[in-house]
Amino acid sequence: MDSDNPTFKKRMEKIPMIRTAQIALAALALCVSATSMEAGTISGNVLDSAGKPMEGVMISAFTVESGKRKSVSVFSQADGSFSIEGLFYEKYYKVRARLMGQLDAVKRDVKAGESKLSFSMKPATGEDLEDQRTADSGFDMLKWTSKKDKENYKMMCSYCHQTGSKGWRSPELPVDWDTMIRRMDGFGGLYRHTQKTLVKRLVDTYSEAAVAQWPAFVPPPAPRGLATRARITEWDMGNKYKVMVHDLELGPDGLVYAVDMALNAVVSLDPKNGKREVYRFPGKYRGPHSIELANDGSMWVTLCKSGEMGRFDLKTKEFTIVSSAESHQKRGSYPHTLRINPKDPEGLIWYTDAGRNSCFSIHPKTHKVKEYHLLKKNQAVGAGKGESRGITPYGIDFSPVDGTIWYSKLNGNRIGRIDPRTPDGDIKEWNPPRRGPRRLHIDQEGIVWVPFFGTGDFGKFNPKTEKWKFYDLPNAENQTPYALNIDPKGYIWICGTNSDSLIRFDPKTEKMTHFRLPSRVTYTREIEFDEEGNIWTCNSNGPARHTERGYGSIIKLELNAGKLRTARK
């Protein structure tokens, strides 16, 4: 073709424009493809055996290719529909539908983007139904001659793991039970008459022959309403069967930090990409127990085994180890739980020592430790009732109203207050009429909220009137609420430690909402909140072999996601 031809010239002039448009379209396609991968959605519906829509069925998508061991769970709505959004690790997932009283339904090799996934549920019977029994129901099978004996057992034998779950029932012979119980407790805290009869009681209740005679498990009703609007993400952590993710804390860098007692380490999780890191404490085994964010952006850890405190620098990833006792002592006894008031100009780290009758503060820069000797026998308001030989300073928190420090004594059965504005701390203690106060928290009005591990309930204490009000959890005698916390909106969140759940309590309406967690045998003992109001906890059942997959885990519960899905409909 003649290059001087006008038509040819016009065509040649258009070529750069065409190429630019093609490149732009290609880039847009890549962008859309990447967005689809990052925000992949699996949706569909759930029907019962008669073909009717089912509400409250938990639908979980598990990673199967990346090795990042993550699941995302939502609940089916009243019309049976569900939508799992934001899947981005891989292209294919294993998807499970679960509801107590129904057989698990599993679909494999489900591609992200699938919009017509359908589940047809079938009732569970026999052994399949028994496998779904939560620990609180299993614990109810263990009969006692007195309520006091049962509370004593709960206090002494349920502080690391659930009692009554299927995995927990693994010992079969009397000698196995005897060895396990002696190793765990050494018969140090159990009543003498319980020591003599406990092994036979356990065998008579939890052997395979005994379980075969139990009445059939009656599942609770399916979740409804708010309980179905949760989106729950769970990241398995640690080495299989050798893990104890005891406590967690949210970092200012967007990572989640936790202590793994089995690894003698601080571990981190990046929720965006699932990356996990392990930072082992130097030298000997130190027993990392609790972790909190300090005002300077570092993390502090109680080291219960070595009687020390540890500072973890998030930038250098280096540890500083100091004694948890006053400077003239090489180590403390058993530093346990710590809290830091973000409004404290000194940024003091406050912590309990479960091995002595004291609370401590440590200065984050000078590492100067101050010990507060707590009250002795008969010095508390209402002293004498429910107190055991052990004292066990345990939970601790600060009041946002006046900066006073509040603590609990687990076995001493007290809560107490330290006023750091006075030279001697002006310490006062109260003995509540319930059993086993654990990890307490103070709300914005200065009200002290306390979970009671022994009696399976929780209560609020007004420091001004010194009056209590209590709230029973369902099936309270078989519950072991380990901790609670208060979110920015004032809701009280309680660990359903023996029932694989988290419980939200509205103090205005006094109504509870139970959120079922995705994994069987989920033992929670700490709750945190992020800036968006999401709830974070971790599964730290010990030993991990009791749990459904044999790992510890970090768990995030979102309610905003559920509201968005409802709004879209």
CATH number, domain of 61, equals 2.60.40.1120
Mean pLDDT estimate for the chain: 90
Say if residue 113 is in the same domain as residue 138: no
pLDDT at 59 over 90: yes
Say if residue 101 is in the same domain as residue 62: yes
The length of the chain in residues reads 569
Say if residue 94 is in the same domain as residue 159: no
Q: What is the three-class DSSP state of 24?
A: helix
Is 473 part of a structural domain of the chain? no
Q: Can you name the residues that pair with 274 across neighbouring β-strands?
A: none
Determine the pLDDT at residue 243: 97
pLDDT at 156 over 60: yes
Say if residue 153 is in the same domain as residue 206: yes
Is 239 part of a structural domain of the chain? no
Of the candidates 72, 89, 124, which is a domain's last residue? 124
Say if residue 120 is in the same domain as residue 135: no
Say if residue 111 is in the same domain as residue 146: no
Average pLDDT score over residue span 86-113: 94
Say if residue 133 is in the same domain as residue 101: no
Q: Tell me the C-alpha distance between 306 and 76, whole Å.
A: 48
The parent domain of residue 115 ranges over 39-124
Percent of the chain's residues with pLDDT above 90 = 81
Is 145 part of a structural domain of the chain? yes
Average pLDDT score over residue span 17-31: 38
Is 257 part of a structural domain of the chain? no
Is 143 part of a structural domain of the chain? yes
Structural domains counted in the chain: 2
Q: Tell me the C-alpha distance between 248 and 351, whole Å.
A: 16
Q: Tell me the C-alpha distance between 552 and 542, whole Å.
A: 9
Convert the pLDDT of each residue in 324-348 to its tens digit: 999 889 999 999 999 999 999 999 9
pLDDT at 34 over 60: no
Of the candidates 124, 142, 174, which is a domain's last residue? 124
Phi-psi region of 238 (alpha: psi -120 to 50; beta: other; left: phi over 0): left
Determine the pLDDT at residue 90: 85
Of the candidates 211, 230, 253, which is a domain's last residue? 211
Of 177-181, 293-297, 348-352, 522-526, which range is least confident? 177-181
pLDDT at 476 over 60: yes
Average pLDDT score over residue span 169-188: 80
Dihedral of the alpha carbons of 155, 159, 162, 167, in degrees to the nearest 10: -120
Is 236 part of a structural domain of the chain? no
Convert the pLDDT of each residue in 260-303 to its tens digit: 999 999 999 999 999 999 999 999 999 999 999 999 999 999 99
Is 55 part of a structural domain of the chain? yes
Say if residue 180 is in the same domain as residue 106: no
Confidence tier at 383 by pLDDT (50, 70, 90): confident
pLDDT at 208 over 70: yes
Say if residue 116 is in the same domain as residue 174: no
Are 223 and 562 a contacting pair, CB within 8 Å? no
Say if residue 162 is in the same domain as residue 107: no
Going through 421-462 in order, the beta strands assigned E by DSSP cover: 428-430, 441-442, 448-452, 457-462
Per-residue H/E/C for 67-93: CCCEEEEEECCCCCEEEEEEECCCCEE
The β-bridge relationship of strands 393-398 and 467-472 is unpaired
Q: Tell me the C-alpha distance between 131 and 542, whole Å.
A: 19
- Return the residue matching tokens 């009791």: 546
Is 49 part of a structural domain of the chain? yes
Q: What is the three-class DSSP state of 34?
A: helix
Confidence tier at 386 by pLDDT (50, 70, 90): low
Per-residue H/E/C for 153-205: HHHHHCCCCCCCCCHHHCCCCHHHHHHHHHHHHCCCCCCHHHHHHHHHHHHHH
